[in-house]
Structure 1
Amino acid sequence: MPNALRNRVLSEIHADHQGIVRSKSIARTYVWWPGVDRDIENLVKKCMNCALQQNNPKLTRMHPWELPRYPWQRVHVDFAGPFLGYSYLILVDAYSKWPEVIPMQTTSSVATIRSLMQIFATHGLPERIVTDNGPQFTSQEFKEFLNVNGIQHTLSATYHPSTNGEAERFVQTFKHNMKCRQANSGYVMVRSYNTPEKWVQGEIVRKIGNLHYDVNVGGKIVKRHVDQLQSFGTNNTEVQVSNTSNLNNSDVQTAHQDVQNHATAQNTPIVLPNRMSRGKPPERLDL
């Protein structure tokens, strides 16, 4: 291919904004010149339209926070909720993992500063505080509060919660425990696929076949396999039952026993044969 026509040919090859591999495949079908692959790579990498639509880059290796030398050297702060009518201010000390949780009616800057003052009055002022980019943490009032008390402020990258992972992880633990406290005993737990909660409470209506059940979940009858049911806080004869003529006590006991037996079977450890008698195992590979 003459030098004068190469740029025109490259433009035609990349007219539909194909990727590098696809563009090379098209070029090899029709044209060739020394360094054509390199020219295609440079063209695609410099295409602005392709750059605007490309996927996120590969995740880089995580760099952990430096371990503090003493308590209250660095604290991580975040909000959980709204949940059960409150938002919760979460503060975790990076050294001791000591958490502080304060329920709040509002998450404004003034309310956040007031709650942090209560914590700092008990434990003292930290050297550094790590937060996300919430409006209460980026407001002028919050900046002045930190400056007056000599506290350094580190903001995580926008839409990158793992930077403040210490607080984010405790928020997850806190929400899980609060939802467990809210649950009532006497119900079968049903796997849910259309709600934020993974498991919801349900009432067994009737048994269908050997391993299927109709379950009342929030007034709606759904069909579930025994794999999708869990016994929760009940004895075998204490399952919550709907008032229906299609179900009797023996069906309830059978349903609950099926769930118990299936859970036991899944939790039974698999015993592997003893391989020590077959000779010395191979040396460990140091990768």
Structure 2
Amino acid sequence: MDQEFLKVKEGIYNNACDDIIKNYSLFKEELCFYEGLLLRGTRIIIPAQLRKQVLAAAYEGHLGIVLMKARLRTKVWWPRYDKDAETLVQTCKGCTFISAPNPPNPLKRRELPNEPWVDIAIDLMGPLPNGDFILVVVDYFSRYKEVKLLEKFPV
């Protein structure tokens, strides 16, 4: 059995105070041992040497901090597990790489132009599988669309 668990067990049954079990003392009424497992209510308290593996399993799929904590809260517990989960997510290189540093600016409605062809939008789509492109021009006043196929020039 884990040394920390032995000290917690001793602290629960003998009211012994140790620096290690101070993190468990707030939940003393919720803790119990069942067949060698330390439980807090219906959740299993994970020994220190297994916590990294449990965090990795809960973080599978890189779902983010909120869903990871929700996964953990349903089955397991240990002191400061929220902090451990946050640290894991914040140090994940993949997640920090793809997360946007700033949220996008909110969309703003454009003012309707006073006459046709004063304000237009142009977009080029492609290349298509055959190498061609599609040019789209939209007039903001009339919403008229002009679509042209730009064929690939032979080289």
State TM-score, norm by structure 2.
Answer: 0.41
State TM-score, norm by structure 1.
Answer: 0.23
